[in-house]
């Protein structure tokens, strides 16, 4: 196993300096960017893995219980946490180890302030959800003290579980175009991670390939109220032919939009498809029931925990990334995709 002393000897600097850099404290200790780069390059080349948690478990610390931190951003995605939590609980029921899950709320762009990540005293491992670009940059330049798995994000040196964001947008476009829709609009909140923009751009491109011309509406609040107000503003401002297709960035936005569209008394409601990241039963019981490109959040959570256990048990020799399949679920708001072979999309 590669040690900090070996890295220090290879670079020709003190072990203390290496420890500071790998611990993410280089900026505050004013260590030069050139030295940081040299340390990280050497650590990667030698295969250094700071699996402090795994070593502490083998030594006896925490042998009776593994403490796993679940970090979730404090923003509009808070309501989605229940689905992720349910997936973790389902996976825990299948494990023969005693594991305690602890929720750590955090603010986007301030992941570096979460003490649980920079020491091995609070927990043995962590699952990081909803990291921003700034948070990912912090992870990229930091060797954390505990093993980490990223949910729906990627970063060199870290395990991750993701979905194909481009496919999600393309599926929505195909569902709407296959129902004969030709004029579409995208209603979504301001993007908080790159995948949101990928979904929208993929929707626009796939739609154009199949005769669905669409535009992006001004960003709304990422809530049911935001969807309601956004849809009312859009359709009230239209003159002439109304859009016949609506793609919503989340289930919450779509529920608000559906209410607004019904209240407006339109001669014909547009077809509606949303990213299904909310509670499935709410999508099933809305009026009309909501067609979604389903985000498999529970299974992604289970896969995150499996990866974490594999990493901590040294069953992985290097960080692994797993891609789960998103699928389209037709309901009353939009019919099925004509070609159910979703691999042909794009």
d(CA 130, CA 132): 6
> If you average pLDDT over residues 125-131, what whole number do you get?
95
**pLDDT value at residue 343:** 44
For residues 253, 254, 257, 263, the Cα torsion angle rounded to the nearest 10 degrees is: -140
> If you average pLDDT over residues 233-259, what whole number do you get?
92
> If you average pLDDT over residues 231-236, what whole number do you get?
94
**pLDDT value at residue 61:** 42
Percentage above 70 pLDDT, the chain: 90
Fold of 52-163+299-325: Rossmann fold (3.40.50)
Q: Confirm if 183 and 152 have CB atoms less than 8 A apart.
A: no
What does the block give as tokens for 55? 């070593």
d(CA 260, CA 23): 50
d(CA 199, CA 20): 39
**pLDDT value at residue 154:** 95
| Chain segment 257-297, per-residue pLDDT in tens | 999 999 998 889 999 999 999 999 999 999 999 999 999 99
Do 52-163+299-325 and 165-296+328-344 fold alike per CATH? yes
Fold of 165-296+328-344: Rossmann fold (3.40.50)
Average pLDDT across the chain, whole number:
89
> Between 84 and 4, whose confidence is greater?
84
The residues spanned by each domain of the chain are: 4-46, 52-163+299-325, 165-296+328-344
φ/ψ of 278, rounded to 5, equals: -100, -165
**Distances in Å between the alpha carbon of 261 and those of 251, 271, 276, 296?**
15, 11, 19, 28
């Amino acid at each position: 196993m590669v040690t900090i002393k070996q890295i220090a000897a290879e670079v020709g600097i003190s072990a203390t300096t290496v420890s500071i850099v790998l611990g993410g404290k280089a900026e505050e200790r004013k260590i030069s960017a050139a030295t940081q780069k040299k340390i990280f390059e050497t650590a990667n080349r030698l295969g250094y893995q700071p699996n402090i948690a795994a070593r502490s478990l083998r030594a006896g610390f925490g042998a009776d219980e593994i403490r796993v931190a679940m970090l979730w951003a404090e923003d509009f995605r808070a309501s989605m946490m229940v689905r992720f939590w349910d997936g973790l609980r389902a996976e825990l029921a299948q494990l023969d180890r005693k594991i305690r899950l602890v929720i750590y709320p955090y603010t986007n762009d301030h992941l570096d302030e979460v003490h649980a990540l920079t020491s091995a005293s609070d927990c043995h491992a962590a699952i990081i959800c909803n990291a921003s670009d700034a948070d990912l940059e912090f992870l990229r330049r930091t060797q954390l003290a505990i093993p980490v798995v990223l949910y729906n994000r990627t970063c060199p040196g870290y395990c991750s579980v993701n979905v194909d964001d481009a496919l999600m947008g393309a599926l929505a476009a195909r569902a709407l175009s296959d129902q004969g829709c030709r004029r579409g609009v995208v209603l979504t909140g301001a993007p908080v991670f790159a995948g949101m923009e990928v979904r929208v751009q993929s929707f626009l491109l796939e739609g154009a390939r199949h005769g669905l011309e669409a535009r992006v509406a001004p960003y709304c609040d990422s809530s049911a109220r935001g969807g309601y107000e956004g849809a009312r503003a859009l359709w009230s401002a239209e003159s002439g032919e109304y859009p016949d297709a609506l793609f919503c960035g989340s289930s919450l936005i779509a529920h608000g939009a559906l209410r607004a569209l019904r209240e407006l008394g339109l001669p014909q409601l547009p077809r509606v498809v949303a990213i299904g990241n909310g509670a499935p039963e709410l999508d099933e019981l809305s009026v009309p029931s909501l067609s979604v490109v389903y985000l498999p959040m529970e299974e992604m959570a289970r896969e995150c925990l499996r990866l974490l256990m594999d990493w901590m048990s040294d069953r992985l020799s290097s960080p692994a990334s797993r891609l789960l399949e998103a699928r389209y679920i037709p309901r009353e708001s939009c019919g099925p995709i004509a070609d159910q072979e979703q691999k042909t999309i794009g």
